[in-house]
Structures are given as C-alpha cells and as structure tokens.
Homo-oligomer: A and B are copies of this chain.
Amino acid sequence: MQRARSVEAKQQRERAILDAARELAEARTVREVTLTDVAAAVGMHKSAMLRYFETREQIFLALTAEAWVEWSAWIRGNLEAGDGRDRGAGQGRDQGAGQGRDQGAGQGRDQGAGDGRDRGAHAAAVIARSLAARPLFCDLLAHAAMNLERNVSLETAYAYKTSTLEQVLLVTDHLRGLLDLTVQQTRDLVGTATSMAGAFWQMSATPGSQLEQMYTEHPDIAHANVEVEPRLTRILTALIAGMRVNP
C-alpha cells in the first residue's frame, strides 16, 4: 500500500515536470527552456528534479515520445480516404468549440472516396495541417535527432527509439492502406513529413523570433520565410503522386 502510493506519487511528480516543461516550451521554444526554468515552474529544487529525469534532454525526449503517440493516434483516428469525415487537425485537448475553421479537412475537394490522385492530395493536406497545428511537435522533431537523443543514456535513447518506431509503424500501416503504397514508400512518406515539418518549422519566422525581426527589417528577403503548412502540403502532394507513378 505504501509502495503503491509512492509509485503513484512518483508518477504524479513526473507528470507535473513534463507538463511544466511542455507549457514553457509552447510559450517560448524548446531551445529556450532550461532545466532551471522547469524546476522553478514545478516548484522543485533542480537536484530533486534530477531524481526523476537524468537530464533536460530526457524530459524533452519524453515529451517527443508522447507527441508521437498523440499525433499517430490522431492520424489513425481522423485521416480517412477522403470521405469528408476528417475532424480537423487540432490536438485532442484543443478540440471542441472554436475549431470551426478546421472542420472537414477535404472541404469541397474529394468528398467521395475520390480517385487515387485526389486521395493522395487529400492525405497530403491533412498530414501537413496536422503537423503545422502542432508547433511543439515540429520543434521537438527537429531537436530530437540533433540534440535530445545525444544527451541521454543509451538505454533512454533506445526506449525512445522503440516507442517512436512503434508509432511510425502504426501510422505507416494506416497510410499504406489508404494510399496503396509500398511499405518502404509509406515509411519514406512519414519520414519526409515529420523531418520536413521539423526543419521548416525551424526556418519559419515564429512570433517574437529573431527571424521575424530580420524579415521585418529586411523586406527584400521576406519571401524567403517558410510557411510550413502550404509548403509541406505541396511537397507531400507531389511526393505521394510521384510514388504512385513509380512504385
């Protein structure tokens, strides 16, 4: 009983740390959140917090794994074969009222089952929108391979990798059925979508960023700003169409 309570207390504490880190990263960006910031937000001493997570990177890697689970479930639950039943791109906790503009991802485009090309364009648009609607996931995706996986123990990196691979497999299986692609093509599609979302998000001038300031002060190069959703939609649409041409 004592032990059960202590396990539960530990889980609650871990949850509180993860939630605090997520809120801070959503408000700023991943790179701007330190371990000290998280400790302050959750009201713990840094040394005490390190009993729950070995490094700052382990916290953000855990958030990345959770974001994969959430995104994977959303895609599988919402992306249908262009039958107009897609229910917006928002995350579970954001849904409900006020999400009107996201209703129906295939608006007026391929309301019926659609032919192959329409189905591909529809899936591309929904995938792009689902990623653009998750800025923290995009931010984490770019950081994961470059920074987060490298500042944790081998076992933590392995646990993260197996968890993520499981989600990739689930999304891949779902998309393959919808799009009639090979396993390798679908894996390449998911790899491209998530890698590009991460990379493009880093290149986009988010509010308050130095990039935004640069494009404001130098309108001659403002066209270089990357708009994540339209660019990702175009690229994924062409990618899926091309995969169908050359199986």
A interface secondary structure, majority: helix
A3 at the interface (CB under 8 A from B): no
From A44-52, A65-73, A81-89, A238-246, give the one contacting chain B: A238-246
Interface size grouping (class) on chain A:
35 or more
Q: Which residues of B contact A231 (CB under 8 A)?
A: 188, 191
> A199's contact among B157, B199, B239, B245, by CB below 8 Å, is which?
B199
A1 an interface residue at 8 Å Cβ cutoff? no
Q: Are B203's CB and A145's CB within 8 A?
A: yes
Q: Which residues of A contact B (CB under 8 A)?
A: 31, 117, 121, 142-143, 145-147, 149-150, 154, 157-158, 161-162, 165, 184-185, 188, 191-192, 195-196, 198-200, 202-203, 210-211, 213-214, 217-218, 221, 224, 226, 231, 234-235, 237-246
Would you give 22 A-B contacts (Cβ < 8 Å), ordered by A?
Answer: A117-B245, A142-B146, A150-B210, A154-B213, A154-B214, A157-B211, A161-B218, A161-B224, A165-B221, A184-B234, A188-B231, A191-B226, A192-B235, A195-B195, A195-B200, A237-B242, A238-B239, A238-B242, A238-B245, A238-B246, A241-B246, A242-B242
